[in-house]
Amino acid sequence: MQAFIIDRYGKKEVGRIGEVPEPVVRDDDVLVRIHAASINALDSKIRSGEFKLILPYRLPLILGNDVAGTVVRVGARVRSFEPGDEVYARPDDDRIGTFAEFIAVKESSLALKPTNLSMVEAASVPLVALTAWQVLVETAKLKKGQKVFIHAGSGGVGTIAIQLAKHLGAFVATTTSSANIAWVKALGADVVIDYKQQDFATVLRDYDVVLNSLGSGELLKSLEVLKPGGHLVSISGPPTPAFGLARGLAWPLRQVLRLLSSGIRTKAKKKRVQYTFVFMRADGPQLREITSLIESGAIQPVVDKVFPFQDTRQALAYVDSGRAKGKAVVQVA
């Protein structure tokens, strides 16, 4: 089959399309013919080697963390899916590879595609929606009437997180550029800050939750907007020892994470707020909950641009540029 692969880690590694064997289907796997796959910031981070200590992949590696497609074959123990089913997923992080013609996904990570979405729209959803769910619902336990600040409201995670937070009954603030203010408000944001004109840390106060997806500067300033007892959740790091323990990482690596996160954890403690790092995981049952929200109209995916499979390299570069509103999608089939 054809796939988009990297041969080595590095910021200058652009990747290539080549021939690779079709995936092996285990007893609890579902073989999916891929119709579409979306681009995430995680793809570039994996390509550059940023996560090679946490995710020790074997090279050459097929990139891609989101999939929508059709079931071709199921393993001997699979009971929830059958050939012909239209499905979508974020594959388990040790078995990525959706920039390809086929992928084998664990049954427990898969869900039926929302009936009201095309394959392209469905492919844009899993990673960012599961991230938003695992931050806001599972980790922060966001409640009706609480205030949440979501960085980068026009990005892939931001566009879904705003809609999910509003569905949960929260008051939502976010940041974006001046060109996107009205558009982000239409997604449901109550307060929108033009990050080129205003400093969010001087405008926002007494928030219950912050979802950080940006760098260390924004992470530290996010502490200023939280009230005592608030919760700062970051999906861009630094990872914590608790994360390392949950991942089953070796003791020396957990000590590295302890050092990397000591600054923000100490500052959070002084501010009497909680700091958590979330590295989203594949989860079929949660994806089914998200499917219900999509089919009810509570959440709508945001697709900015669609690229043909042969232009996967350009699609990655487009997302790297930071210009995407919502998601960029690669159409495979």
CATH of the domain at 132: 3.40.50.720
Number of domains in the chain: 2
Check whether residue 6 and residue 72 sit in a common domain: yes
121, 132: one domain = no
Q: Torsions phi, psi of 196, nearest 5?
A: -80, -20
> Does any domain span residue 282?
no
pLDDT tens profile 10-53: 989 999 999 999 999 999 999 999 999 999 999 999 999 988 88
Residues 159 and 103 in one domain: no
Amino acid 56: pLDDT: 87
Q: Are residues 307 and 184 in the same domain?
A: no
| Least trusted range by pLDDT, from 173-177, 288-292, 319-323 | 319-323
CB 32 within 8 A of CB 46: no
Residue 286 located in a structural domain: no
Residue 172 sits in the same domain as residue 313: no
Does residue 291 lie within any of the structural domains? Answer: no
Of 25, 4, 29, the C-alpha closest to 101 is 4
Structure tokens at 287: 């994806």
- Mean pLDDT, the chain, whole residue set: 96
In a domain, 284, yes or no: no
Q: What is the CATH number of the domain that holds 319?
A: 3.90.180.10
- Do 259 and 196 share a structural domain? yes
One domain, residues 72 and 7: yes
* Angle formed by the axes of helices 312-320 and 41-48, nearest 10°: 100
Considering the domain boundaries, does residue 190 fall inside one?
yes
Residue 85 lies in a domain: yes
Same-domain status, 199 and 163 = yes
Domain identity same for 105 and 135? no
| Domain presence at residue 296 | no
CA dist 88 and 314 (Å) reads 23
For residue range 264-298, list pLDDT tens digits in order: 999 999 999 999 999 999 999 999 999 999 999 99
- Is residue 102 located within the same domain as residue 155? no
Q: Strands 102-106 and 147-150: what pairing?
A: unpaired
Residues 160 and 71 in one domain: no
The tens digit of pLDDT for each residue in 118-149 reads 999 999 999 999 999 999 999 999 999 999 99
- Does 54 score more than 90 pLDDT? no
Res. 323: pLDDT tops 90: no
Shared domain check, 150 and 118: no
The reported pTM is: 0.97
114 vs 233: CA distance, rounded Å: 28
**pLDDT > 90: percent of the chain:** 96
- Residue 39: which domain range? 2-125+301-331
> Which is nearest to 234 in space by CA: 309, 120, 134?
134
Q: Which of 136, 180, 139, 171 is nearest to 157 (CA)?
A: 136
- pLDDT at position 124: 98
